[in-house]
Amino acid sequence: MPTNNAMRRLVITGMGAICALGHDAPSVWKAMSEGRSGIGPIHHIQPGQLRNGGIAAEVSNYDPANFFDEARRALLDPFSEYALIAANEAIRQSGIRFEGEAAERTAVVIGSGVGGETTRDDLYERLYGEHQGRFHPLGIVRMMMNAPASQVSMVHGITGPAFVVASACSSSNHAFAQAAMMIRSGMVDAAVVGGTEACITLGTLRAWEAMRVLAPDTCRPFSKGRRGLVLGEGAGMYVLETLESAQKRGAQILCELVGTGMSSDAGDIAAPSDIGAAAAMNAALRDGGISPDQVDYINAHGTGTAANDSTETKAIHRVFGAHAHELVVTSTKPMHGHALGAAGALELVAAIGAIQDGIVPPTLNYLEPDPACDLDYAPNEARDMKVDVAISNSFAFGGLNAVVAIRRAP
């Protein structure tokens, strides 16, 4: 396999986001950099229906009619709505045009862990709860996993490869890896890539409750006294293209995507492995030609569960050695929640913002150190610091790991 220097260099020229922190990427980043949380009571589910008190990081003050006409709304589950909103923003910022051959040589790759859960929940409530025999005729096209990729391709006339990657909480970062490989290989010249999730439904929440990993109060990664994760929803989408193309168009370059790394634990279906997580980080660094001591910031997977946070800390020690204590490692999940398949895409907003603005977002809700988590987590307050290189970690149930490495724009 050729080295990264022999490959096409990849840059991000557009970014879009929607989640509990805002309806566009600037709003989301501003909230992250100020350490504001979007976690709160769930509004569309009765609290008595949930054991954990009914908290999540919902997309709030959201009306799809503000973004889509009635005909388009009939085709969309919220997870496709979020993907389209974020993709539209990223494409506008990039200024990229999908005309002629460019449409054929652009891919759409989107990560999602669970798909159209709102539609699925509604259909099953009608079938099993209300005993209705008739379903909405567009139910399948709303809830199918590939719906957001299809919708983005149709709205923007993109005729190149379009598909959805599903690897639970690593879906977005796997999508970045797939898009990067296609562009590097010459299969395509650009990609609209990211992740989306709309998982705040009664069925999904009850299933997560049954695993006993949901926090009853809030998400507090790496802190002693952490009690679990808090689900979130939303989407992050990006325009990824070659450096040559971006420079030729005179596009603003947000950052360079230098490496991706993937691994599988081949161990337990739910328990994380520090060996597998370390393998993915090492692979991303090798792919990007980055030495461990060049990394300044890690946006951690940092779910707030006892097992994940201590395991991720061990993995960081494995990869970075003594340099681990020079790094700043934060989790933004206390702000936007754990958005499952969209997690990596939302967290890339934080990594890019840290590089561009010199602000590392904090790890909120930190109470006191845990001996098993002994790194610098920038507890509760953002950190002003120069960031040239950052990595973003995603580790999923099933032992599927994916890491993205980015650096300051050339």
Q: Please tell me which residue in 23, 156, 174, 338 is annotated as part of the active site.
A: 338
For tokens 């999602």, what's the residue? 112
Q: Please tell me which residue in 23, 156, 301, 336 is annotated as part of the active site.
A: 301
Task: Report how far residue 289's alpha carbon sits from residue 303's, in angstroms, rounded to the nearest whole number.
Answer: 28
Task: Report how far residue 360's alpha carbon sits from residue 32's, in angstroms, rounded to the nearest whole number.
Answer: 9
CA 211 to the chain's CA centroid: 22
Write b or e for each residue in 338-352: b if 16 or more Cβ atoms lie within 10 A of its Cβ, otherwise e. Answer: bbbbbbbbbbbbbbb
Measured from the Cβ of residue 408, the count of other Cβ atoms closer than 10 Å reads: 16
Look up residue 174 and give its two tokens: 């796997």
Write b or e for each residue in 200-228: b if 16 or more Cβ atoms lie within 10 A of its Cβ, otherwise e. Answer: bbbebbeebeeeebbbeebbbbbbeebbb
Task: Report how far residue 284's alpha carbon sits from residue 320's, in angstroms, rounded to the nearest whole number.
Answer: 13
For this structure, is 199 an active site residue?
A: no
For this structure, is 336 an active site residue?
A: no
For this structure, is 338 an active site residue?
A: yes
Q: Please tell me which residue in 23, 156, 169, 199 is annotated as part of the active site.
A: 169
Q: Which sequence positions are flagged as catalytic?
A: 169, 301, 338
